[in-house]
A and B are shown apart, each in its own frame.
Chain A
Amino acid sequence: MHAIEKILARNSGRESVRTGEIVTAKVDFAEINDLYLQTVYSFYEMGGEKVWDRERCAFVFDHYAPCPDVKSASNHKEMREFAKKNNLRFHFDTNCGVCHQVMPEAGVIYPGMIVVATDSHTTTHGAFGAMGTGCGATDMATILMTGELWFRVPEIIEVRLEGRAPKGVYPKDVILAVLGKIRADGAVYKAVDFTGSYVESLNVAGRMTICNMAVEMGAKTAYMQPNQDVLDYVSLRSVRPFEVQYTDPGYEYAETHVFDVSVLEPELACPHSVENVYPLHEVISEKEVKLDQGYIGSCTGGREEDIAVAAGILRGKHIAPYTRLIIVPASNEVLEECIKKGYIQDLMKAGATVTAPGCAACLGVHEGILAPGENCITSTNRNFPGRMGSKEASLWLASPATVAASLLNGKITDPRPYL
């Protein structure tokens, strides 16, 4: 069996599971973000009274952090009351950050577990050898009532990433290259296991970036076998003992895709689809792309490592006239570290706007919305029409290094000469 199948089998009380089988599995941690007041409504509509386990579920108020309007503030108020009423052990209010960063930091994510959240990017937690998957509000309400959810045991695709990344090629570039090949629906209903020498030596932040975007191929979940970096991270933080699962030797994947990371270049996902991926040099050799805004943040590209590389490029310099650079640290912990190391000060001096940790403009809610006709380069995960505001705006997805170098020049720029 694959490690993911072992996790599903253990949590559904079985010896083994087969691809295509429907199992009902225990959920080790359930998270509700602040777009999902409907979860509370559905919970009561279905006759829910108390959550199944006050230790194993939490709200994270990240999409509206802090609240931009009366409606979202009212939604928070209702959710906060629900959390209080259920005496939830964990509660992450607007002072924490993006759920997928906040949960691992708080130690509720660890290898071998099942985490379900009302957020598609829950695939992120494959970085820790956990099975993470997203669901809607009412599915979540059923978890809050029962502590379990039904799953179809997925086909598992291997994405083997071999070699060392050249200078200027970051985990974001790697996952964009993978997406360009596998496409936006190449892994629908399936799980993606990232393997290979590149993954084995990748740090926690890089692993999270790659697993995060597995959902952009349609994946139900992502997985990476934990390495020492992951074990060090979770050993310091985990609130529970855990057991790492391993894939049996000789396991046969439904498909295998092999990528040589050593030949990759900085990549871009061009408007308006995550699968519209080209090497950066091809895009800019065809035409100059002038920019109005750059954005570094989100559960994909707002970690300390992301902000550090941007600060390295912009230190002592200034972004181009009439452009904006929005920096949104993924969590308070990230923000604190970046202040300690001076990155935030460097970026502010370079002309950046630093906002409160959270999802901010990644999904077009607040703090960096685009006007019609504007161009933005972003370290986030989606460039759908209207994702960051006007549907007449255009978004290019890139690594934080590419975002920083591009804002320096006010046009999409290869970051390599600036490193």
Chain B
Amino acid sequence: METKVTGKVIVVGDNIDTDQIYPGCYLALTDPKEIGSHCLEGVSREIAPSFPQGGIVVAGRNFGCGSSREHAPIALLAMGAKAVLADSFARIFFRNAVNLGLLPVICKGISRHVSAGQTVTLDLDKGTVTVAETGEVLSCEQLGEQAMLILEAGGIKPLMRARFGK
């Protein structure tokens, strides 16, 4: 897995729930591309069409709270996001993100140190987030052994396929 990710950011607020990440009216959709086109529509319809590929979503506290819908990380990945940096994450969102290979990394206070369009580099080995424009270096938390085990395998699906010899 890549332990270093560089990308342009968008910044959203606190308590961005899964209804805002992926509104309930689209839950019957199953095609990831179509799902991605509605990503963060509950915050603004403008986000998904203009999201920088390989970009990073920066948020406040409790990102991904609410429903257990896996559509939320599917939408973020399909929109082009590689990582979410936030003060904290809701538990089910965190698990879903890790399972699918989206990096949910706790970086306290990050949303006050970057603004939309800036470029940051997340370095998981060093536990740092560097803002290119300002040179500021913030520290982020480690993902935990179990999450790393899944991410290093490329997500839960390759891990399970290997376990079952498929």
Contacts and interface: CB of A to CB of B under 8 A. Distances in A.
B69 A47 contact: no
Interface residues of B, number: 42
Interface string B140-166: 000011100000000011001100111
A247 B62 CA distance: 30
B156 to A, nearest CB: 6
B1 interface: no
Interface stretch (A2-10, A182-190, A255-263, A371-379): A182-190
Given A69-B28, A138-B96, A387-B24, A35 B88 contact: no
Interface in A37-73: 37-38, 41-42, 45-47, 63-64, 69, 71-72
A283 interface: no
Contact of B164 (A47, A387, A389, A391): A47
B123 interface: no
Given A120-B92, A135-B95, A218-B90, A364 B65 contact: no
Which of the listed residues B24, B65, B156 has the most CB atoms from chain A within 10 Å of its own CB?
A: B24
Contacts of A38: 30, 70-71, 74
A273 to B, nearest CB: 6
Contact of B28 (A46, A64, A384): A64
B95 A139 contact: yes
Contacts of A185: 15, 61-62, 65, 88, 90
Contact of A47 (B19, B95, B166): B166
Interface string A128-152: 0000001111110010010000101
A114 to B, nearest CB: 16
A363 B67 contact: yes
Given A64-B28, A136-B68, A385 B91 contact: no
Interface of B: 15, 17, 19-20, 23-25, 27-30, 42, 61-62, 65-71, 73-74, 88-92, 95-96, 99-100, 144-146, 156-157, 160-161, 164-166
